[in-house]
Amino acid sequence: MDSSLETTLGSLTLKRPTVLASGILGISLDVFNRLHDAGAGAVVTKSLSKEPWEGYPNPTIFSVKGGGWINAVGLSNPGAETFAKMIESNDNVPIVVSLVGSVEDDFEYMIKKFENCKVAAYELNLSCPHVAKVGLEVGDDIELVSKIIKKVKSITNSPIVAKVGLGKSDYLATVDAAVSAGVDAITAINTVRAMAIDVETQMPILSNKIGGLSGTPIKPIALRCVYEIASKFDIPIMGCGGISNWEDAVEFILAGSSVVQFGSVMGDHWVETFSEINSGIQKYMERKGYATIGEMIGKAKRQ
C-alpha cells in the first residue's frame, strides 16, 4: 500500500506535511530551495517587521540541559520590503511569510510589499514572548487580533495563519477571536517565556533576561494545546513545539495537526531532517493502513 504524504491547510495543498518553523534558517531563498529539495513541504520565514530590526545584543541563545534552547534574538530581520526583493524570484518553494507588528496598518503595509512574490500563505506572529508591543502583547488583545485578521483578509487571497502562544490571557480565547475573524489556520504554539541565570556571575544569561524556550521541553505542552484547539474548533492546525522525530510528528497529527513544523531539531544535520521524518511518517502510515494524512488527523480525539 502506497501512502500519500500530501496534506491540506485550508485551500493550501502541500506535497508533504513537514514544514520549517519560523526563526530557524528562515532568511535565505537559497536555503529555502535546499530545504524544499531535501523534503520540506513548505518553509516559514523568519518573522518580518515593517522596518528592519537589529534585535538584541549577545548573548541571545542559551542551550538548556537535557535539550532545548532559550532564545531572545529580538526578531532581528531586514524588514518586509527588503525581504520581498530577496524572494521575488521564487517559483518553486511554498513560502509562508511570517509577519509581526503592533497594529492593523503594519500588517497591511507588509503584505502589500509581497504582492509581486509567490507566497503560499502568511503566518501572523501573535505570540513572540520576548519583544515588547508585538507578539504576545498583540495576541493577548482579543479585539486587536480580530481587527488585524479582518484587515489582512480584506487585502489578500492568500491563506492567513495565526500563530498563537501562551501569554497572560487564555490562548483559546485568542484562537476563538481569530477563527471568528475568518483566519484560515492556526499555528500552535510559539516558544514559552523562560530564563536562565549564571550562578557564578549571579546574573541572567540572556541580554534581554527573558527569552523563549523551544525544543523538546515544550513538546508535551504544545501537543496538549493542539489537542485542545482541535477539540474545540473546526480549523486546520500547524502543530509546532519540540518535534524532533517522526514519532513526535505522528503524535501531533493524531492530536489534530494537518501540518507539523519544527526548527530546534535541525542542528548539524538539517538537510537530512525532513527526509528522515517524512520517511518515518510514511512507514507508520503503511504499517497502520492509512492511505492519506487526512485519515490520521485528529484520530486521538475521535477515540
The verdict on whether residue 23 carries a ligand-binding annotation is no
Cell readout for 124 is: 501572523
Choice among 117, 128, 225, 240 that is catalytic: 128
Residue 212, marked binder? no
- Cβ proximity of 20 and 259 under 8 Å: no
DSSP β-bridge partners for residue 216? none
How far apart, in whole angstroms, are the C-alpha atoms of residue 274 and residue 265? Answer: 10
Is 101 known as a binding-site position? no
Is 264 among the annotated ligand-binding positions? yes
Residue 180 annotated as lining a ligand binding site: no
Half-sphere exposure of 103 (CA within 13 A, CB side): 1
Catalytic, 128? Answer: yes
Residues in the chain: 303
30 φ/ψ angles, rounded to the nearest 5 degrees: -60, -45
Helices (H) then strands (E): counts for the chain: 9, 16
- The CA R_g of the chain, rounded to the nearest whole Å, is 18
Tell whether 278 is in a known binding site. no
**Which runs of E-coded beta strand occur in the chain?**
7-9, 12-14, 18-20, 42-44, 61-63, 69-71, 95-99, 121-125, 160-164, 185-188, 192-194, 197-198, 203-204, 211-214, 237-240, 259-262
Tell whether residue 243 is among the known ligand binding residues.
Answer: no
Cβ–Cβ < 8 Å for 191, 163: no
Is 22 assigned a ligand-binding role in the annotation? yes
Contacts with 30 (C-beta within 8 Å, 6 or more apart), sequence order: none
Judge whether 157 is annotated as a binding position: no
Is 215 labelled a binding residue? yes
At position 121, the amino acid (one-letter code) is: A
Dist. CA 16–CA 231, nearest whole Å: 24
Residues 263, 166, 180, CA angle at the centre, nearest 5°?
100
Annotated binding residue 226:
no
45 is in an annotated binding site: no
In DSSP terms, 125 is beta-bridged to 163
Residue 253, annotated ligand binder?
no
Q: Does 72 carry a binding-site annotation?
A: yes
Cα(298)–Cα(188) distance, integer angstroms: 15
Please enumerate, by residue number, every residue annotated as part of a binding site for substrate: 46, 71-75, 125, 190-191
Catalytic annotation, residues: 128
Residue positions forming the annotated binding site for FMN: 22, 46-47, 125, 163, 189, 215, 241-242, 263-264
Binding site membership: which residues?
22, 46-47, 71-75, 125, 163, 189-191, 215, 241-242, 263-264
